[in-house]
Structure 1
């Protein structure tokens, strides 16, 4: 662990400083229940928001950051994930009702269609292209311990990958799929051989995995856990910059007079399309990081509630974050007083560009 990383998200060190939230804009007409995922279109400023109210909402975010409702996909249970196709026109959601549905925004008002099914809730989904042919595909990861690959022209999965346990999080960049499951398994798949693991191992972190996010160049990934720790892992050691694999503490409070501190879950890790990445957690803060120099660039004060999901738009100029109950304390703490909103933060190079 580098001494340049701080253990408290409220006191960034090194080149970092406290960021300004005063100009952040609230998205109008948010979901009616906890927000589980955010995803931007790769072609325009359409933002998909997945929620426990059994819907994926799509907003058109205008230049002044006001959002206009554009479309809705409805499910029979809470929605855990959402994702956009590579062409930026199709959006899909993954639900606890064991289905995934897809809406084509260019299909002249045609309703969403079911495109995937599992034997248990679907936790995550990602679009990708087959390395061999460039054919568009959808991968869905489920608590039934499988990842299924779907050619959207067919009703049956094109292939099935059996995982060691329930899928908690997954991400795809280029030809690399990283999947994190229960019991701390983290496995890597080369998508030219989608039904076998390139490598299989355990998380470098000791507590439950909450999120994995791939680096843009597919050289590795970041993983966040329920114990306020993050790790950067490389698929090949020679690809690593700044000294290889490492982990560090973040999203933790200051120690009290008895030496105790509050430790918070890392709920989201979003990779900037050009620069570094962000972490966000149940402490209601987010941080911008330079992963190669192992340095926090900017930290932000609490936003008044847990941050459950984050995402950069396609240019990296807008950072969306959901302030919402994240279930880290269980059902009993999901009281009516919890805030539930999506905030839009306009980013500048000073915040996220490595020094």
Structure 2
């Protein structure tokens, strides 16, 4: 079956910062955050259950640009982070917004751990806030970071934070959960927590994105300088010897190699392959184990800001919006768009997959 691709109606009016599918494998709901100060919820299915152009079902306004969004335990629960310094919980069914905590600078990333019922936010004030969702009204634990966070991702057991100065911290989520459970949750809790591992990025330039493998074995990270690194959690010398990095998202123009940032990464939940999206307007699929590119899609009109696979692996959503590499200060109407590809059965399978 060939890929079917369609564009979502009613896209954001400014650059897209994040895009996430619902965690429910049967769902076709997408949450999108934007610099236009809104979070958008789209439903891909129509009234007859057919997946098509989708429709905007809700929009939630914030006081400032929204930099990240994630779903919580259900598709009716989302968490947002942005330049208003707040971490918010939004109940989609009632349209109510609750501020979980406020940082002292813009909040770059927010993630939800269903295994530990934690929401973790990472801010440019160089702290993490760890919120216990099973204890509503409790004050979050505050964990200092050595530098500004750029990207964050988690598995069932690990939390990976990529920061300035090429620093990476990997935290054990069970340890974070136990720590927050021991604190009374009624007074500000600034706690020094030793990461499970401290690492230096394999990439020489600033990290743009980090994404964890669905099998909890490791992660991939990308840089502003057209490279992706693949690494494993296992600290053994044998496992660490497997890590590698490769060049991608480069275009030749007039015999010059033009290098673009790799803005976004997402792992396929079933096959364990991953997608990358770059400032060159290209999305590619990679087999990280076989170290091979599976396919590269046609060039999109401008920079790829975010990609995400649906929880059942049948769809790939691609957010396109002009980036710094496009040299455009003002957002032209129609420049921001969200494409959804319905994937063929073997489209995202690795080369060695049975």
Query: What TM-score does the superposition give when structure 1 sets the normalisation length?
Result: 0.86
Secondary structure of the structure 2 residue equivalent to 1:183: helix
Could you tell me whether the CA contact under 8 Å between 2:227 and 2:262 is conserved in 1? Answer: yes
**Aligned match of 1:142 in 123, 126, 129?**
123
1:185 and 1:281 mapped to 2: Cα distance? 22
Could you tell me whether the CA contact under 8 Å between 1:96 and 1:121 is conserved in 2? Answer: yes
> Which ranges of structure 1 fall in alignment gaps of 5 or more residues?
1-19
1:120 and 1:175 mapped to 2: Cα distance? 28
**Structure 2 equivalent of residue 75 of structure 1:** 62
Q: 1:135 to 1:290 in 2, by over 3 A?
A: closer
Q: 1:245 to 1:211 in 2, by over 3 A?
A: same
2:8 and 2:206 mapped to 1: Cα distance? 31
| 1:41 equivalenced with 2:1 (yes/no) | no
Secondary structure of the structure 2 residue equivalent to 1:193: helix
**Aligned match of 1:151 in 122, 132, 140?**
132
> Which ranges of structure 2 fall in alignment gaps of 5 or more residues?
177-192
1:79 and 1:345 mapped to 2: Cα distance? 25
**Structure 1 equivalent of residue 166 of structure 2:** 184
Shift of 1:327: 3.4
2:56 and 2:136 mapped to 1: Cα distance? 30
Shift of 1:233: 0.8
**Structure 1 equivalent of residue 149 of structure 2:** 167
Q: 1:76 to 1:233 in 2, by over 3 A?
A: same
2:237 and 2:308 mapped to 1: Cα distance? 25
Secondary structure of the structure 1 residue equivalent to 2:80: strand
**Aligned match of 1:295 in 289, 292, 297?**
292
Higher relative contact order (CA 8 A, sep 6+): 1
**Structure 2 equivalent of residue 262 of structure 1:** 258
1:347 and 1:300 mapped to 2: Cα distance? 12
| 1:286 equivalenced with 2:283 (yes/no) | yes
Secondary structure of the structure 1 residue equivalent to 2:152: strand
**Structure 1 equivalent of residue 105 of structure 2:** 120
1:283-305, Cα deviation, whole Å (9 max, x unpaired): 00011111111111111121111
Runs (4 or more) in structure 1 with deviation over 6 Å come to 239-243
**Structure 2 equivalent of residue 343 of structure 1:** 339
Secondary structure of the structure 1 residue equivalent to 2:257: coil
Q: 1:182 to 1:242 in 2, by over 3 A?
A: closer
1:92-125, Cα deviation, whole Å (9 max, x unpaired): 111111012222234xx24222222101101000
Alpha-carbon RMSD across the aligned residues, in angstroms, is 2.2
Q: 1:238 to 1:289 in 2, by over 3 A?
A: farther
Larger % of strand: which? 2
1:288-345, Cα deviation, whole Å (9 max, x unpaired): 1111111111111211110001111111111000110233567x64453671110111
1:239 and 1:270 mapped to 2: Cα distance? 27
Shift of 1:213: 0.3
Secondary structure of the structure 2 residue equivalent to 1:247: strand
**Aligned match of 2:210 in 209, 212, 218?**
212
Q: 1:110 to 1:285 in 2, by over 3 A?
A: closer
1:13-63, Cα deviation, whole Å (9 max, x unpaired): xxxxxxx87x41110000111111001111111100100000111011113
**Structure 1 equivalent of residue 53 of structure 2:** 66
Could you tell me whether the CA contact under 8 Å between 1:116 and 1:140 is conserved in 2? Answer: no
1:102 and 1:28 mapped to 2: Cα distance? 25
Q: 1:325 to 1:156 in 2, by over 3 A?
A: farther
Query: Where in structure 2 are the equivalents of 1:229-240 lying within 5 Å?
Result: 229-236=227-234
Secondary structure of the structure 1 residue equivalent to 2:347: helix
